[in-house]
Amino acid sequence: MQDQVSICVIGSGYVGLVAAACFAEMGHRVLCVDNDEARVKTLREGGVPIYEDHLPELLARHRGGGVEFTTDLGGAVEASEAIFIAVGTPQGDAGAADLSFVEAVVSEIARHINNYKVIVEKSTVPVYTNEWIQRVLRRHGVDPQNFDVVSNPEFLREGTAVIDFMHPDRIVVGAGTERAANLVRRIYEPLVGGSYYGQPGALPGALSAARPAKLLITSAQSSELIKHASNAFLALKISFINAVANLAEAVDADIEDIAAGLGLDRRIGPGFLHAGLGYGGSCFPKDVAAFHWVAQQRGVNFELLQEVRKINEKQKDIFFNKVLSALWTLPGKRLAALGLAFKGNTDDIRESPAIEIIKRLLEAGAMVAAYDPAAMERAKSVLPPSAKLRYAAGVYEAAKGADAVLILTDWKEFAEIDLVRLNDAVRFPIVIDGRNLYKPQQMLDHGFTYVSVGRPASYQAQQGKPRSGVL
């Protein structure tokens, strides 16, 4: 019989909503709290406010049963054994994480602790946040015997977050008492014990009943540092391969071959060795900055993180210059921009290199037709349609009459374009690929001039002439 735990998840954003759905999938009873009444109404009525594979399926399966949505934080806290804090921790001006939302939530939790609770940091927070949460609770008069605070960082990739949650590389728990650690063990037992993977309808993935999830118990400080260190290291790998790509391009080498050679080394591995426009999203930029800020506050010289950020920013400059070099001048040029999200399989445009590049192209006088399979509505809030920017219904509509096609996001759809049809649609057969989705010879064979990242450009000897009727 499933050992059901009553759980409160505070925050129905990216992390909170995925956590709530996945805890319900494990067999627990979940109350997901948000102070946004419209968002809660949407979730109750079957809406899914974020684009994420498997999330609609899990919410449909468990809504009104395993998971319920509410604005009543106090009632949810009182009814729950474990309280997961999954609110935003945006980056402040100095790079530090803004923990004001966390503090506000903790203050509200304090008013409703009626018996022993385990309060779990799920938001990405700097080291010693666990200690500060304890201080805030005590300042509000909560008996220390009635709570423990645990760090349980998330390691989710947007686009694969549900599978990452249910088939994790590791589950990290920073707990100061065995009592708290045992409750969190109960929560994750379906994954750590393997029972979830043998049940009918279990989401498929890398783990199984014979190879279940691994649970690592640490101190709270170690757990908090593991999250920031993990993201900083992955950002480092991305910036490293992009720096190597710039060198490869300078000596006419191929970064895809180099990355393959590096990735075959078991000590390095192939993940995050994809040269391109650099990293974006809600995690890497913020977490690298916050990790660097924490190091500075403790007197640790961690300038490597500054270089990681500089290389990442430089990649966008390099790509913009590739566009300029391919087209000579930009005023009046028509460009098809394929991709708005910071990566494929998500509608998240936060810190998206694609958005920044499109802004720069528009400022330079270009006219842009943009398309993304999921992120166009979100993009319109920061890039509203105008005389110079329109949103297309598909790849070929965006490409119609274009002087060049820019690939800015690594959607699978963009790696499977009908190149004959694309060539027919464009004004000039020029593709500038910021994600290296194609082989240079393949593009050359289809009549394209092809410019990518970390590889020699492939130029057609004859560009052809403008299609008649295109203004």
> Which of 111, 4, 21 has the alpha carbon at shortest distance from 57?
21
Q: Are residues 15 and 141 in the same domain?
A: yes
To the nearest whole percent, how much of the chain has pLDDT over 90?
87
What is residue 126's predicted lDDT score, i.e. its pLDDT?
A: 78
Task: Indicate the range of 86-100, 188-202, 443-457 predicted with least confidence.
Answer: 86-100
Domain annotation covers residue 131 = yes
Q: Determine which one of 8, 22, 32, 283 is catalytic.
A: 283
**192 vs 3: which has the higher pLDDT:** 192
Residues 205 and 327 in one domain: no
Q: Quick one: 300 and 323 in the same domain? A: no
What value, to the nearest 5°, has the Cα angle with vertex 35 and ends 29 and 41? 70
- Do 129 and 270 lie in a common domain? no
C-alpha span between 267 and 331 (Å, rounded): 47
Distance (Å, rounded) from C-alpha 302 to C-alpha 291? 9
Residue 233 lies in a domain: yes
Q: Is residue 118 part of a domain?
A: yes
Residues 278/313, Cβ–Cβ less than 8 Å: yes
The answer to whether residue 93 sits within a structural domain is: yes
Q: Which of 84-93, 138-147, 240-249 has the lowest mean pLDDT?
A: 84-93
Residues 173, 108 share a domain: yes
Residue 116 has what pLDDT?
A: 97
Query: What is the pLDDT at residue 2?
Result: 63
**Of 272, 289, 311, the domain-final residue:** 311
**Bridge partners, residue 116, by sequence:** none
User: Of 283, 311, 339, which closes a domain?
Assistant: 311
Q: Tell me: do 34 and 161 sit in the same domain.
A: yes
**In which residue are the tokens 């640490």 written?**
218
The pLDDT of 316-327, averaged and rounded, is 96
Are 83 and 160 within one domain?
yes
Q: Do 320 and 436 belong together in one domain?
A: yes
**What does pLDDT average to over the chain?**
94
Q: Check if 22 is active-site.
A: no
Q: Are residues 264 and 374 in the same domain?
A: no
Helix (H) or strand (E) holding 119: strand 117-121
Task: Please give the C-alpha separations between residue 213 and each of 122, 168, 270, 347, in angstroms, as whole numbers.
Answer: 18, 6, 22, 29
Residues 6+ apart with CB under 8 A from 463: 428, 429, 430, 449
Q: What's residue 283's pLDDT?
A: 85
Task: Tell me the mean pLDDT in the region 124-132.
Answer: 85
Confirm whether 237 is domain-assigned: yes
The reply to whether 461 falls in a domain is no
Same domain assignment for residues 304 and 347: no
Choose between 289 and 56: higher pLDDT: 56
Could you give the CA distance from residue 18 to residue 23 in angstroms, rounded to a whole number? 9
Is the pLDDT reported for residue 463 higher than 60? no
Q: What is the CATH number of the domain that holds 356?
A: 3.40.50.720
Query: Which residues have a Cβ under 8 Å from the Cβ of 8 and sit 6 or more positions away?
Result: 30, 31, 32, 33, 76, 77, 79, 80, 82, 83, 84
Question: Model confidence over 1-38: pLDDT tens digits?
Answer: 468 999 999 999 999 999 999 999 999 999 999 999 99
Six-digit token pair at 345?
A: 């399989």
User: Which of 324-338, 380-394, 457-471 has the least mean pLDDT?
Assistant: 457-471
Q: Tell me the mean pLDDT in the region 360-372.
A: 98
Q: The CATH number of the domain where 286 resides is what?
A: 1.10.1040.10
Question: What contacts 185, CB < 8 A, 6 or more positions away?
Answer: 173, 192, 215
Mean pLDDT of 258-266: 97
Q: What is the pLDDT of residue 461?
A: 65
Instruction: Check pLDDT > 80 for residue 95.
Output: no
Helix, strand, or coil here: 405?
strand
Q: How many domains does the chain have?
A: 3
Q: Which one of 178, 201, 218 terminates a domain?
A: 218
User: How many Å apart are CA 317 and CA 173, to the nearest integer?
Assistant: 40
Amino acid 471: pLDDT: 35
Structural domain for 238, as ranges: 227-311
Same domain, 67 and 190: yes
Whether 462 is covered by a domain: the verdict is no
User: With bands split at pLDDT 50, 70 and 90, how would you rate the model's confidence at 468?
Assistant: very low
Q: CA 151 to CA 104: how far, in whole Å?
A: 18
Asked whether residue 1 is assigned to any structural domain, the reply reads no
pLDDT at 125: 81
pLDDT tens per residue, range 107-123: 999 999 999 999 999 98
Q: What is the pLDDT of residue 96?
A: 76
* pTM for this model (two decimals): 0.89
Is 1 or 408 the better-scoring residue by pLDDT? 408
- Asked if 292 and 391 sit in the same domain, the reply is no
Residue among 135, 77, 130, 84 nearest 108 (CA): 77
Residue 467's pLDDT band, with cuts at 50, 70 and 90, is: very low
pLDDT at 451: 97
Integer CA distances (angstroms), 333 to 248, 365, 396, 431, in order: 29, 8, 17, 14
**In this predicted model, what pLDDT tens digit does every residue of 388-407 receive, in sequence order?**
999 999 999 999 999 999 99
Count CB neighbours of 135 within 10 A. Answer: 12
